[in-house]
Each structure stands twice: as structure tokens, then as C-alpha cells.
Amino acid sequence: MDQLLIAMSVFALVGATSPGPVNLVATSTAANFGFPRTLLFVSGASVAYALIVFVSGNLLSILVNWLPNLERVMQIAGTVFLLYVVKQIAFAPYEPIEHQSQRKVPSLVYGGLMQCINPKAWLVAMSGISLYVVGQESLRFQLITFTMVSLVACFIGVSSWAAIGHLIRRYLQSELHQRRFNTIMAGLLLVSISSIWL
């Protein structure tokens, strides 16, 4: 049991900390608004990921038959939404850090919705379920365990990306640095989107 829990935790943490759309938005948000104000986005993404794991585990048998079609729909919807996010980041107007605190920060709901259409989240969840839940003696217990482990790992993983954004916040005081950062983040998000289709 302990070995399975350790394996689940390592898998979930690696999946949560690897680059992806939600992590890049968390970094960008924290760079612009600070770490504390990004925690609602992080929390929404983490809770949504735990729900993805739980729903995926419960519906695995049904999804196996529909997965190719469902995966394509998720790819298209996720790509369209993420391209909108790329545009928002790339063309964000320069704003001094002190003025940004008055703008609207991505919310708990935004973090949750973004995670729900994130193909990486679904693929990692389904992979983890097939490795650590399916075929275990107590399927329900293992699914709940993996869901809780995934919730904690996602919060740690997305928070770490937000912390990086917060650390470079001072660097973004100049317009040139802020525009470069936004361009880099938008470019990384585009790479992340293209990986969905490869």
C-alpha cells in the first residue's frame, strides 16, 4: 500500500509540475498580480483537476468506447480557448505593477474551467487511473486516494509555477521587460497547444 501511494504521489506531482497551459497562466498571473492573488486561480485549477480524476475513474468504462471522439472534441475546444488566452497574454497592454492590482485577476472559476478543457489534465488523469486504480483490489478506495493525492499534487505543482511568476515580478517593472515576458509566455503557451496536436 505504501509503495502504491508513493508511486501515485510521484506520478501526480510530475504530471502537475510539467509545463502546460494552466501552469503557464499561473506563472503569468503571479508575475502580474503577485502570488497571493493567484491562489484562487491555483485552487480552482486544483479542485477541477481532482474532479477530472474522480469523474474519469468513475466513467472509464464508458469513455473507453467514446474516447477517440471525446478526445478530438476536447482538443478542438481546448485549442480555441487557449488561443484566446495566448492573444490576451501576447497583446496585454503595458501596465505598471502597482496599477495591475486594480485589474481583475483570473478567478477560482476561471482556473477550474481552464483545467476542465485542458487536454493535458485529462490525459494525465486517465494515465494515472489506468496505472494506479484500474485492477486494484479496492477500486473505490484507490480512486478516492488517487483523487486526493492528485488534488494536493496539482496545488503544489501549479503553485510552484505561480511562485516563479511572483519571483520575477520586480523584473517586470519596465515596459520592455513586461512586453518580452508576455511574448515569451504567449509563445510557450503556443508550443504547449501545438503539443496537443502532435
* Structure confidence by residue, pLDDT tens digits, 120-170: 888 788 778 877 777 678 878 888 999 999 999 999 999 998 998 888 877
The secondary structure of the chain as a DSSP string is: -HHHHHHHHHHHHHHHHS--HHHHHHHHHHHHH-HHHHHHHHHHHHHHHHHHHHHHHHTHHHHHHHHHHHHHHHHHHHHHHHHHHHHHHHTPPP--HHHHTTSPPP-HHHHHHHHHT-HHHHHHHHHHHHHHTTT-SSHHHHHHHHHHHHHHHHHHHHHHHHHHHHHTTGGGGSHHHHHHHHHHHHHHHHHHHHHHH-
In the block, residue with C-alpha cell 482556473: 111
Cα separation, 97 vs 113, whole angstroms: 26
187 lies in which domain range? Answer: 2-197
Which pLDDT score is estimated for 27? Answer: 87
Q: How many CA atoms lie within 13 A of 135 on its CB side?
A: 6
The arithmetic mean of pLDDT across residues 108-113, rounded, is 90
pTM for the full model? 0.71
> What's the pLDDT tens digit per position in 175-198?
888 788 778 877 876 776 675 566
- In the numeric block, which cell numbers belong to residue 188? 510557450
- The closest of 54, 79, 84 to 145, measured between CA atoms, is 54
Query: Are residues 184 and 52 in contact, defined by beta-carbon separation less than 8 angstroms?
Result: no
98 against 14, higher pLDDT: 14
The arithmetic mean of pLDDT across residues 37-47, rounded, is 94
The arithmetic mean of pLDDT across residues 84-106, rounded, is 66
Number of compact structural domains in the chain:
1
pLDDT band (50, 70, 90) for residue 42 = very high
Whether residue 65 is predicted with pLDDT greater than 60 in this model: the reply is no
Whether residue 98 is predicted with pLDDT greater than 70 in this model: the reply is no
The arithmetic mean of pLDDT across residues 59-67, rounded, is 60
Query: Are residues 42 and 160 in contact, defined by beta-carbon separation less than 8 angstroms?
Result: no
pLDDT band (50, 70, 90) for residue 102 = very low
